[in-house]
């Protein structure tokens, strides 16, 4: 992600290393783009489980995993680093003990790296309302950080790189909170963010999501 694009995501900082696969147009539907369709299916809520459209969610998780695997394995400097990286899902809005808990990001990483170092290192104390739907949801990384904690059982061995994965980058609230939490424990370990898409309000003149390339 270059400096020009970074400015659109207010909680990102100059030295953040961020990658994304495509661009999601907010307010548009499934038919707007391949990326919009993927994100909307990926984020289907747990209460759709068992209904006919649930297969679209499972398909979206698999497709996102395939895109990430292809992109990382075909980007030489990331493929080399991936061997030593710890893959961490950014947690959803529901805490792990909630019936609404959605482990889509964890499933994604297990598909990308079935034999690799995948750790649910970041957990939440309480369920919160999603940022995109709740009027009173936390709006700053510091608000989310109060609800995050590290899973002590998974701190060892010490990671060499910490790769955070999430579906959609908007302001960067979740990424910043997760980044700051990890840095407090591992100040000398690089933290990298990976997203299926970044959110934007207008469609780009040219979209290359079909190439499955990671865009820095």
How does pLDDT run across 18-62, given as a tens digit for each residue? Answer: 999 999 998 888 889 999 999 999 999 999 999 999 999 999 999
pLDDT(130) > 80: no
pLDDT band at 209 (very low <50, low <70, confident <90, very high): very low
More reliable by pLDDT, 197 or 7: 197
> Alpha-carbon distance 144 to 173, whole Å?
8
Q: Name residues whose C-beta falls within 8 Å of residue 17's C-beta, 6 or more positions apart in sequence.
A: 190, 191, 192, 193, 216
What pLDDT does residue 208 have? 43
Region 102-125: mean pLDDT is 96
pLDDT(205) > 50: no
What pLDDT does residue 136 have? 58
Q: What is the CA radius of gyration of the chain?
A: 16
* Beta strand 85-89 pairing with 122-124: unpaired
pLDDT(134) > 80: no
Read off the tokens for 37: 């369709």
Task: Report which of 99, 107, 207, 115 is spatially closest to residue 165, judged by C-alpha positions.
Answer: 107
Q: What's the chain's average pLDDT?
A: 90
pLDDT(11) > 90: yes
Please give the backbone phi and psi of residue 180, each rounded to the nearest 5 degrees, phi first. Answer: -65, -35
**For residue 215, what is the DSSP state?**
B
Region 129-137: mean pLDDT is 61
Kind and range of the H or E run holding 180 = helix 173-185
Q: C-alpha distances in angstroms, 54 versus 44, 48, 108, 124, 210?
A: 8, 6, 16, 25, 24
Q: Name residues whose C-beta falls within 8 Å of residue 84's C-beta, 6 or more positions apart in sequence.
A: 160, 161
Region 99-111: mean pLDDT is 96
List pLDDT tens digits, range 165-196: 999 999 999 999 999 999 999 999 999 999 99
Helix, strand, or coil (residue 148): strand
20, 211 contact by CB (below 8 A)? no
Task: Report which of 87, 54, 116 is spatially closest to residue 191, judged by C-alpha positions.
Answer: 87
Read off the tokens for 163: 């790769």
pLDDT > 90 in the chain, percent: 80
pLDDT(133) > 60: no
pLDDT band at 124 (very low <50, low <70, confident <90, very high): very high
Q: What is the pTM of this model?
A: 0.90
What pLDDT does residue 211 have? 47
Task: Report which of 58, 65, 62 is spatially closest to residue 21, judged by C-alpha positions.
Answer: 65
């Amino acid at each position: 992600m270059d400096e020009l694009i970074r400015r659109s995501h207010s909680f990102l900082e100059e030295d953040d290393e961020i990658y994304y696969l495509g661009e999601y147009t907010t307010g548009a539907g499934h038919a707007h783009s391949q990326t919009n369709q993927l994100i909307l299916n990926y984020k289907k809520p747990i209460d759709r489980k068992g209904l006919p459209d649930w297969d679209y969610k499972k398909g979206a998780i698999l497709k996102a995993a395939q895109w990430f695997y292809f992109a990382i394995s075909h980007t030489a400097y990331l493929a080399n680093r991936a061997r030593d990286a710890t893959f961490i899902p950014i947690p959803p809005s529901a805490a792990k003990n909630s019936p609404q808990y959605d482990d889509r990001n964890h499933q994604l990483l297990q598909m990308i790296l079935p034999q690799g170092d995948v750790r649910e290192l970041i957990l939440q104390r309480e369920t919160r309302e999603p940022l995109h739907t709740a009027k009173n949801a936390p709006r700053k990384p510091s608000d989310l950080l109060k609800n995050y904690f590290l899973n002590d059982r998974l701190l060892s061995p010490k990671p060499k790189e910490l790769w955070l994965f999430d579906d959609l980058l908007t302001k960067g609230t979740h990424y910043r909170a997760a980044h700051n939490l990890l840095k407090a424990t591992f100040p000398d370990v690089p933290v990298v963010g990976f997203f299926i898409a970044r959110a934007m309000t207008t469609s780009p003149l040219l979209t290359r999501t079909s190439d499955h390339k990671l865009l820095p």
